[in-house]
Chain A
Amino acid sequence: MLSEMNDLVSVAERAIGESKAQLDSDQTRALAAQVTAEVVAEVSAESSAKALAEGLQRR
């Protein structure tokens, strides 16, 4: 499961031009924060993760 998915990730990274070296770049960090911020459901007791991540990406 993992290696097959890793293959797909490599394909996507290559096509988009995003390398693993950029994984922790500001852009990716901001994106992670943004995506995380936007997926926390109303039902979650941890919905503060959303506010937190939104704020982090704006730093």
Chain B
Amino acid sequence: MTERSRGGGPSGPRPSPDTENAENADAPLLVRDRLAHMEDVDPGGLARLFSLASLEGEVPARFLDALHAALAHRTITHARAHVPWYREHPEYAAWSLPQGRLGSPSELLRGLPVLYRAVVAASPARFVADDVVLSALGHTSGSTGTPLPVRRSVEESDFLAAYFERLTAPLAHEGPRPISLNLPNAYHGTPLRLPAPGLSLSSGVTDDLLLGETVRALTTRYDLPGFRTRVEFLSGLVNHVLLLTGHLMEQGIDPRALGLRGVSVAGGAAAPHWRRFLASAWGCPVTDRFTLTEVVGGASRCAACDLFHLDPHVFGEVLEPGSDTPVAEGPGRLVLTAFHPFVQMQPMIRYDAGDLVLRRKNGCRPTPAFEFLGKRGNAIALELRGRRKWLLFPAVLNAVLAGLPDVRAVEWASGVRRVFDRTLGGLPYARTVLDRSSSPPELRVEVELRYGPHFHPARAEEVAAQVADALRRAEGTALAELEAGGAVRLRVVCRPPGSLPEPELKL
């Protein structure tokens, strides 16, 4: 390897094409090895490296793998040295570089225990690093169990601010800066503040006063030197954005006329029906975001392939439930690693938050592509001859029910009197159960309608048939195959309003 390929700078005599090709081939490994052992990581430089590694092509993909390997090494090393749970865990104590050298990120992480929320929740203090200072205390929402405290340090907050400021730098010098409107939520405690390349306004939709203010913010013309004159971007939880959209329409305001250039939704499974509705109502792109409080980052639904792609700085694995076997294609549990220095005070290495995803091969970017299937605890499977056969995924059921106006949804915004339809964004009333006592086992799906099914029997039958058809066609399940073989029976039953309990808070 020449001095030049060791990063001696771009100046100096130009090497021959063959030498240059060889240097370029080694470059990702060089970056990996030096980044892994660097004393401190400069956030601006790392932002630039991730930007380069996110470009299309084979070489950037190799760099992305190299960055992941280097940061995985740094993350494990830091956790072993500074976090009691990792330091004392036998697998971490025994961990060493595979064959004495840095390999791929998967090789580095292989064999380390998968971390579950219950383990962290049982002794959160043992997951706190001793080399940083507390800055903010957040928590998971508790919608799927006991809230988990999430600690953020001064050091990681500073790093994240500098990292994202560097990422947005190319956007910061483009004439008048845009104004965005955010509908923040208080479900996660102290927010982690990140720099935005424009002016960010905050409002809400959860009471009449806030909702009125939100409409005013959207319809106001601003006179702020250096900024554009209207709100152009909107973001919030999907049910908040849906409620706001419905309210505007109820008031005779055409959201398209407000001229937004982007809407972003997060914090719940946005069913395809509602994503299409929002895109049509606002007349602009809608970004669907998959996030976890415990991990700084997540995934965005890709406009090209309509699947989620993980953020480049988050490492994801899709594993068989109950084992460490990777899933190349098909359903599996999503296991995420938050890299140091993005997450410092409460490291999450191989963290399983209980999410099922459908891993797909045909993603258009190097980061794993997947579709969200819902929480594992709400999915239904049947063990047959020692093998798990998936029958129903909650996100698939939600997707079909969201497109059926007959199905009753939770009136989640019952206190917002200005809105006429307070169910927009609410989960549909439905209940699923696998009755193993019947022969063959019966998968029963009960769906609550907005009317008594006996008043409109033909329509109710149609609804049940549509739901059954969607469930049988769901990718990743064996329902149709098992039904055809007589191993299971699906029954969809429509119920009158008020007959089912409140649905789960999350799918």
Q: Does B266 contact A (CB under 8 A)?
A: yes
Residue in contact with A31 in the complex, picked from B54, B197, B198, B263, CB distance below 8 Å? B54
| A42 nearest in chain B by CB position | B291
B136 to chain A, nearest CB (A): 9
Interface string of B13-45 (1 = CB under 8 A from A): 000000000011001101100110011111011
Q: B193 near A36 (CB under 8 angstroms)? A: no
Q: B180 near A48 (CB under 8 angstroms)? A: yes
Q: Does B433 contact A (CB under 8 A)?
A: no
With A29-B170, A47-B235 as contacts: A39 and B34 at CB distance below 8 Å: no
With A8-B7, A39-B164, A39-B297 as contacts: A44 and B46 at CB distance below 8 Å: no
Q: How far is the CA of A5 from the CA of B46 in the complex (A)?
A: 8
Contacting residues, chain A, for B7 (C-beta < 8 A): 4, 7-8, 10-11
Q: How far is the CA of A37 from the CA of B262 in the complex (A)?
A: 11
Taking residues whose C-beta sits less than 8 angstroms from the other chain, chain B's interface range is: 35 or more
User: B45-99: which residues lie under 8 A (CB-CB) from chain A?
Assistant: 45-46, 48-55, 57, 59-60, 63
Residue among A8, A32, A42 with most chain B CB within 10 A: A42
Taking residues whose C-beta sits less than 8 angstroms from the other chain, chain A's interface range is: 35 or more
User: B179-237: which residues lie under 8 A (CB-CB) from chain A?
Assistant: 180-182, 184, 188-189, 191-198, 200-202, 232-236
The count of A-to-B residue pairs whose CB atoms sit within 8 angstroms is 231
User: A44-58: which residues lie under 8 A (CB-CB) from chain B?
Assistant: 44-56, 58
Contacting residues, chain A, for B24 (C-beta < 8 A): 14-15
Interface string of A14-48 (1 = CB under 8 A from B): 11111000011001110111111111111111111
Q: How far is the CA of A36 from the CA of B172 in the complex (A)?
A: 12
Contacting residues, chain A, for B10 (C-beta < 8 A): 10, 13-14
Q: A41 near B34 (CB under 8 angstroms)? A: no
Residue in contact with A45 in the complex, picked from B150, B202, B232, B289, CB distance below 8 Å? B202
Q: B233 near A5 (CB under 8 angstroms)? A: no
Q: A41 near B180 (CB under 8 angstroms)? A: no
Q: Does B267 contact A (CB under 8 A)?
A: yes
Q: B55 near A18 (CB under 8 angstroms)? A: yes
Q: B193 near A44 (CB under 8 angstroms)? A: yes
With A16-B59, A50-B289, A55-B178 as contacts: A36 and B233 at CB distance below 8 Å: no
Q: How far is the CA of A23 from the CA of B169 in the complex (A)?
A: 10
| B10 nearest in chain A by CB position | A10
Q: Does B292 contact A (CB under 8 A)?
A: yes
With A18-B55, A41-B298 as contacts: A48 and B182 at CB distance below 8 Å: yes
Contacting residues, chain A, for B236 (C-beta < 8 A): 47
